[in-house]
Structure 1
Amino acid sequence: MFLLSSSNASTIAQTPIPSLIPQGEFFDNVSRVLNADIRFWKALTNSVIVSTLTAASVVVFSTLAGFSFSKLRFRGRGPLLVFVIATMAVPTQLGIVPLFIVMSELGWTGKLVAVIVPGMVTAFGVFWMTQYLESALPYELIEAARVDGASMIRTFWHIAMPAARPAAAMLALFTFVGSWTNFFWPFIVLGSTNPTLPVAVQLLQSTYFKDMALIMAGVTLSVIPLVILFVFAGRQLVAGIMAGAVKG
């Protein structure tokens, strides 16, 4: 990716296999991306907003659902959890048309809320947090909180959430990356007027010509924030993986 972004279109066309030595065109290609008519900075801002809000909401709602499924006893708990897990087998594309109709009726097409709201909770997030809290949160802590007079909401925020921190950090990281790289739904509901980064990068190609150096420069710019995120959140990721392995 970086090697292609540091070349130019003619070099790529003449050399099917990219050179292992960068050609020095990277910053020129980056400048072309930033000056292209794709609203790069707006797309970057949109991606940050969508990914951050989606990750935060998925963590909160998935942990809340996981706490309910793992520690609360209510009628229909088992079948409901099975139904939630079963939805993971349904292709996302099957719900695109009805979801787009709903967004159109609400007047949300072209707005970031149309991307954020459908992703506020995921079946995988619910399953992941349910499995983690099932073994990571002892019933004794919940009973002790009830004896002390804590409400269920207070028990969730002060006991369940801290106990679920490693798994929640891993879920937030994966959700952020998934939302950041999501192309299909934002392309349909937002279009080119209010794009996220993947949609903006797609706009770099024309109908009759694909400047791969320019496109790869755009892809490189869109990946840099994720690299920075993994550098700073790597410790939490390892902790989440280890916690899941131990608790599982």
Structure 2
Amino acid sequence: MALRRTSVISLSRPTWFVYAALAVVLIASLFPLYYTFLIGSGDASTVTDQNLSWIPGGNFLSNAASVINNPAVNFWKALGNSIIVSTTVGLSTVILSTIAGFAFAKLNFKGNKVLLTSVIATMVVPVQLGVVPLYILMNNFGWTGSLGAVIVPALVTAFGVFWMTQYLQQSLPTELIEAARVDGCNMLRTFWHVGVPAARPAAAMLFLFTFVTAWNNFMWPLIILDQSNPTLPLALSLLQANFFVDYSLVLAGVMLATIPLLLLFVFAGRQLVSGIMAGAVKG
């Protein structure tokens, strides 16, 4: 009996060039964050110091306390508003985009392609073109100055719908949907038990992207909100409203606004990787 020879593909270890390139990318990515902390840990003369020391100073906690206790900044209320806006927008975008993506990717209905093309076409329209009519609409609703004016227009995005549609088209076999329908599931149960588990990795990534975008959004809150009810970027901009700008305080505030995002990525990174591995569907 002839023996069948099996071939094993061995992956070579990365060379020193790969590690060097990754080190350069890592340093370039972390340098802005380190420079922000460096200036934020100094004093008012740190930026103009020609002999700038690359070792952080010891004033970061005092600068952070000055930002937090500044009555003009209203830090804690701004932080709470940013958490409410970013979490609500992130969750709503994931839920609505997953439902729409499942429908566009796996359901055959009249006008499917036309509707999807229309949604994608809105991505080419600059956001600035819709500011004036959107402000008029929010003003007619009586929502100016409230968080609803920031949340409602961002409840779902064309990018989110396109992202989930493309992912479900590739990762969710039609045979699984047909099998669920044969077993007696209606379309809602099929979506919940088949579509949602398959979409989980892409939904997690979409939530992170949307959360960060909503957290850093500055232009629309600046237009529609007032200083008594700001989000965090809008509140921190008040640190530059004085005649003399203390950049150590400004960058300490920027660092405070960045810390929640860093914590989110630290705690969610492992879950994202494990979700991608567990959510892979074999055709």
Q: What is the rounded CA distance, in whole Å, between the counterparts of 1:159 and 1:246 in structure 2?
A: 11
Aligned pairs for 1:40-189 (under 5 A) are 40-189=75-224
Q: How many Å apart are 1:12 and its aligned residue?
A: 2.3
- Of structures 1 and 2, the one with the larger relative CO (CA 8 A, separation 6+) is 1
Alignment partner, residue 223 of structure 1: 258
Number of aligned residue pairs: 246
Alignment partner, residue 35 of structure 1: 69
Q: Quick check: 2:38–2:54 contact (8 Å CA) kept in 1? A: yes
Q: What is the rounded CA distance, in whole Å, between the counterparts of 1:101 and 1:181 in structure 2?
A: 24
Q: How many Å apart are 1:171 and its aligned residue?
A: 0.4
SS at 2:77 equivalent: helix
Q: What is the rounded CA distance, in whole Å, between the counterparts of 2:180 and 2:280 in structure 1?
A: 28
* Cα separation, partners in 2 of 1:152 and 1:241, compared to 1, 3 Å: closer
* Cα separation, partners in 2 of 1:224 and 1:17, compared to 1, 3 Å: farther
* TM-score normalised by L of structure 2: 0.82
Tell me whether 55-64 or 231-240 shows the greater mean CA deviation.
231-240
- 5+ residue gaps, structure 2: 1-35
* Cα separation, partners in 2 of 1:164 and 1:48, compared to 1, 3 Å: same
- 5+ residue gaps, structure 1: none
Pick aligned residue for 1:19 from 53, 57, 68: 53
Q: Quick check: 1:111–1:190 contact (8 Å CA) kept in 2? A: yes
**RMSD in angstroms over aligned alpha carbons?**
2.1
Q: Quick check: 2:39–2:46 contact (8 Å CA) kept in 1? A: no
Q: How many Å apart are 1:145 and its aligned residue?
A: 2.0
Q: Quick check: 1:192–1:203 contact (8 Å CA) kept in 2? A: no
Q: What is the CA deviation profile of residues 154-187 of structure 1, one whole-angstrom value per residue up to 9, with x for unaligned ones?
A: 2112211111000000001111111111111111
SS at 1:143 equivalent: helix
Q: How many Å apart are 1:125 and its aligned residue?
A: 0.6
Runs of 4 or more, structure 1, over 3 Å off, are 236-247
* Cα separation, partners in 2 of 1:41 and 1:229, compared to 1, 3 Å: same
SS at 1:191 equivalent: coil
Q: Quick check: 2:67–2:249 contact (8 Å CA) kept in 1? A: yes
Identity %: 63
AA aligned opposite 1:131: Q
Pick aligned residue for 2:235 from 197, 200, 208: 200
Q: What is the CA deviation profile of residues 22-80 of structure 1, one whole-angstrom value per residue up to 9, with x for unaligned ones?
A: 12111110110011121100011111111111110000000011001001111111121
